[in-house]
Amino acid sequence: MPLEVEKKFLVNTEVLAAQIELEKFQVKTLKQAYLASSSTAVVRVRRDEYKGYLTVKQRASGVKRIEVERELSIAEAEELFELCPSSLVEKRRYYIPFKALTIELDVFLGANEGLVLAEVEFTDEQQARAFIPPSWFLDEVSADHRYYNHYLSEHPFSSWTS
């Protein structure tokens, strides 16, 4: 079963802007929503400019979880969006090389505008534990459910009071 090992961090956007020119990096605009959710897994539909994806992710509180993803056509993804009970999560994702890794920087749009998160995927838990983040990373929020995209689809960042 495919496993995902990743950490998620809040970002200091002022330090980021002073150190990184985002326009130099690959970027995709992503749109996603959730078809189903249970206590053990979520089913997500996502699309970028070129492809759609259907993903099943294990709900987990650590940095490691099961993830299975299949490619869809754009038309299939758009049709599945119509079935989603949750709101869309929209973001621009920048792919920033960092040492032997890639930082996925998510700049949220729409109802989650103002939120900027960085995710780093690792080959295993040992690599994740040894990771030293760049200076523009703030707190790690890997285990904080409020920063999961599924939660943001039901409780947009713009509605948070603190």
Measured distance CA(11)–CA(16) in Å, rounded: 7
Measured distance CA(96)–CA(89) in Å, rounded: 21
How many domains does the chain divide into? 1
CB contact at 8 A, 127 and 133: no
- Mean pLDDT over 104-129 rounds to 96
Q: Tell me if residue 151 is catalytic.
A: no
Q: What is the pLDDT of residues 67-99, one digit of tens each?
A: 999 999 999 999 999 999 889 999 999 999 999
Say whether pTM exceeds 0.75. yes
pLDDT at 51 over 80: yes
Catalytic one of 34, 94, 147, 151: 34
CATH number at 97 reads 2.40.320.10
Measured distance CA(75)–CA(141) in Å, rounded: 34
Q: What is the pLDDT of residues 92-113, one digit of tens each?
A: 999 999 999 999 999 999 999 9
Parent domain of 94 = 3-159
